[in-house]
Amino acid sequence: MARWTPERRRKLRVKAGFSIYYVIFLLFIYGPMFAMFILSFQGRRGGTSFPMRGYSLYWWNKLLEPSTVGDMQGAMGRSIILALMVMVITALFSTMLAMAFRKSFWFSNVLFYTILTGLMVPGVLLSLGMAILLRQLGLSPAWYSSGLAVHVIWALPFGYLVMMAVFNRFDARLEEAARDMGADEWTVFKEITLPLIIPGVVAAGLFGFTLSYDEFARTTLLAGAENTLPLDINASMTQRIRPTLFALGTASTLFSLLMISVFLGIYTILYRRSR
Amino acid sequence: MSKVSELHHTGLIGRQPEPDEASIRAKISHMEEGFATVWLITPAAIWLILFLVIPLVSIVIFSFWENTAQGLKPAFSLEFYGEYFYTKGFFDPEADRFLLPSVFIRTLGATIYFTLVTMALCLAVGYPIAYFLAMQVQAFKWQLALFLLCMVPFWTSYLIRAVAWLPMLGRRGLINQALLGMGIVDKPVSFLFYSEFGYTLALVQIYVVLGIGPMFFSLAKIDKAILEAATDMGATPFQIFREIIGPMSLPGVAIGMIFIFVMIMGEFATAVVVYGGKTSTAGTVILNYYGIANYPFAAVNALMLMLAMVIGIIVILRVVDIRKEL
């Protein structure tokens, strides 16, 4: 048993202080969302602030029934489809890019900074450039074309950085061994490389999915006639804010959390297997 | 070199010295290993050129075009740049606008100011969290779990996180109720929401997690043995921080600050939601001019925002070379 030296006491006090700060911090970043969750069950006559006037599913039901403003379900469906497309492309591109960057090639620096530019450029700028360009070309934007295009630009740097980190710790000797035993490139990739990097690919996909699903700025001018979910949420915010919005926010957040846990679950399983 | 001089020159370039056998073999085997680079990068490179490089370049081009009733006309016009910078009476000592920058420059300035304030707050709030996770939490499992707990909001919608402040900060929100209940104020205060205060608070809450990630990673990389050695040699906690932890976590701080900087400079949605459209950011100005179909002017505004951001990033990058940190 360790002695209660003054030094140890001091350290424990510091640690306790930091722990308390951490809890306060969690309250700060989650608190407002919890308030929103609770208020989404506001009674029929209740408003957007406490106190609760009874509890009901009234606002949740309003969410489900077809409304006059926008169509939530349609928007959510489009957002999910878009997010899935972005997920696949991001995972694919970031894996390919990170594999290419294992060797040096002559404009690797340019490519590196171009990829990161996607992270640095504010969504409103990219949105604007694309929108004016499309207009000049006489093309009309749509969530599945121009929206998809810029969502990938946004998610790619995240997936790419994840995959770069994966390959940084990758043992290339395993591939060498397979090659020495006469495996061709596809076999090496399929049997050796992919099983080892698949957790990273899943993580890159997670970035693709969630970043696209929640993206607002890059879609503002590029979604075309039909809204994605964040655009729909934004539209309903410009009207009078009602608890329906809180129900929608809660639903959307729960969906995000569900997706994160699904991805983390898959990641954990694959990670264990790849060891 | 001796080999080169032995060669008999033919043609314009001349016959090149032949590399020795070993290097040929090394090169061939190197080339053969893995998939061909060309095929790996081509799809993504095309995507990046079409949907990132060309739109950005076209903003520059469109900023010089003329806006006519028939639409945009190719030209080299500085009209919209003039509109951006020029204020009537700027150089006239008699005018009340003497040396007052144009409203667009002031908006950009206000955006930069807000961004810097928010960055400073994010650093102050987030660094201790990153430090706690990296230095105070011992077990790796807990480190990861507590870190992920901080990162989860990053993967949820920031629009919703912005609107979630309403029940807290609104006129009838929790904080006002608490203030009323404690008798600190006798009628609800309105400076909480739709105000600078609410806006800054919401921005910090939304973006602080972006800074914590990189800061945590660079803090976690610090070898604990160094810290122990310093303690054994009699360094005070403050000295350890100033001499070791501070400098070694600087790259993470810089990267985190770049993330937050670029996010908030282009921010416009939170401003509308939490600030109630009472203010303009550089982003809302761009969208407004797009909305009234003044595309060249929107492009000029976008360019100026981009310029300010590039300068900001370069300043931060002077502190750290990002590529070395990966």
Domains of chain A: 70-274 (1.10.3720.10)
Q: How confident is the model at residue B14 (pLDDT cuts 50, 70, 90)?
A: very low
Res A68 pLDDT > 80:
no
**Helices and strands: H and E segment counts in chain B:** 18, 2
Query: pTM of the prediction?
Result: 0.82
What is residue B90's predicted lDDT score, i.e. its pLDDT? 63
Res A48 pLDDT > 90:
no
Query: Lowest-pLDDT range, A153-167, A201-215, B152-166?
Result: B152-166
Contact by Cβ (8 Å): B283, B53: no
Contacting residues of A for B302, CB less than 8 Å apart: 124-125, 128-129
A23 at the B interface (CB within 8 A)? no
Q: What share of chain A in percent tops pLDDT 90?
A: 19
Chain A segment 109-138 residues within 8 A of B by beta carbon are: 111-112, 114-126, 128-133, 135-136
Between chains, do A129 and B159 touch, taking CB under 8 Å as contact?
no
Res B258 pLDDT > 70:
yes
Instruction: Compute the distance between CA of residue B273 and CA of residue A16 in angstroms, rounded to an integer.
Output: 37
What is residue A97's predicted lDDT score, i.e. its pLDDT? 92
Instruction: Compute the distance between CA of residue B165 and CA of residue A75 in angstroms, rounded to an integer.
Output: 24
Between the ranges A17-26, B149-158, B296-305, where is the mean pLDDT highest?
A17-26
Domain ranges (residues) in chain B:
2-63, 103-325
User: Which has more confidence, B322 or A45?
Assistant: A45
What is residue A82's predicted lDDT score, i.e. its pLDDT? 94
What is residue A66's predicted lDDT score, i.e. its pLDDT? 64
Q: What is the mean pLDDT of chain A?
A: 84
Handedness of CA B118, B124, B128, B130 (dihedral sign): positive
pLDDT in tens, B74-128: 777 777 777 777 766 666 666 666 666 777 888 888 888 888 999 999 999 999 9
Average pLDDT over residues A153-174: 89
Res B61 pLDDT > 50:
yes
Count Cβ atoms within 10 A of the Cβ of residue B60 and give its class: 0-12 exposed, 13-18 middle, 19 or more buried.
middle
Sequence-ordered list of residues with C-beta below 8 angstroms from that of B103, at least 6 positions apart, any chain: B87
Between chains, do B146 and A22 touch, taking CB under 8 Å as contact?
yes
What is residue B1's predicted lDDT score, i.e. its pLDDT? 40
HEC string of B141-178? HHHHHHHHHHHHHHHCCHHHHHHCCHHHHCCCCHHHHH
β-sheet bridge partners, residue B24: none
pLDDT in tens, B197-229: 888 888 898 889 888 988 998 888 888 888 888
What is residue B28's predicted lDDT score, i.e. its pLDDT? 47
| ipTM score for this prediction | 0.85
The count of CB pairs under 8 A between chains A and B is: 251
Res B251 pLDDT > 90:
no
Res A199 pLDDT > 90:
no
Q: What is the mean pLDDT of chain B?
A: 78
Cα A203 to the chain's mean position, in Å? 10
Query: Lowest-pLDDT range, A58-72, A147-161, B277-291?
Result: A58-72
pLDDT in tens, A109-136: 899 989 988 888 888 889 899 998 998 8
What is residue B21's predicted lDDT score, i.e. its pLDDT? 61
Contact by Cβ (8 Å): A82, A75: no
Cβ atoms within 10 Å, residue B89 = 13
What is residue B325's predicted lDDT score, i.e. its pLDDT? 56
What is residue B99's predicted lDDT score, i.e. its pLDDT? 63
pLDDT in tens, B131-142: 999 888 888 888
Q: What share of chain B in percent tops pLDDT 90?
A: 11
What is residue B128's predicted lDDT score, i.e. its pLDDT? 93
Q: Which of B79, B75, B81 has its CA nearest to residue B61?
A: B75
Q: How confident is the model at residue A87 (pLDDT cuts 50, 70, 90)?
A: very high
Between chains, do A214 and B158 touch, taking CB under 8 Å as contact?
yes
Mutation target for B interface from A26, A27, A132: give the one with most B CBs within 10 A.
A132
CATH of domain B103-325: 1.10.3720.10
Res A93 pLDDT > 90:
yes
pLDDT in tens, A216-237: 888 888 887 788 888 888 877 7
Query: Lowest-pLDDT range, A20-29, A67-76, B252-261?
Result: A67-76
Chain A segment 61-90 residues within 8 A of B by beta carbon are: none
Mutation target for B interface from A10, A15, A25, A189: give the one with most B CBs within 10 A.
A25
What is residue A218's predicted lDDT score, i.e. its pLDDT? 87
Which structure tokens are listed for B326? Answer: 């990966």
What is residue A153's predicted lDDT score, i.e. its pLDDT? 94
Which CA distances in Å does A182 have to A101, A179, A233, B142? Answer: 24, 5, 56, 44
What is residue B5's predicted lDDT score, i.e. its pLDDT? 42
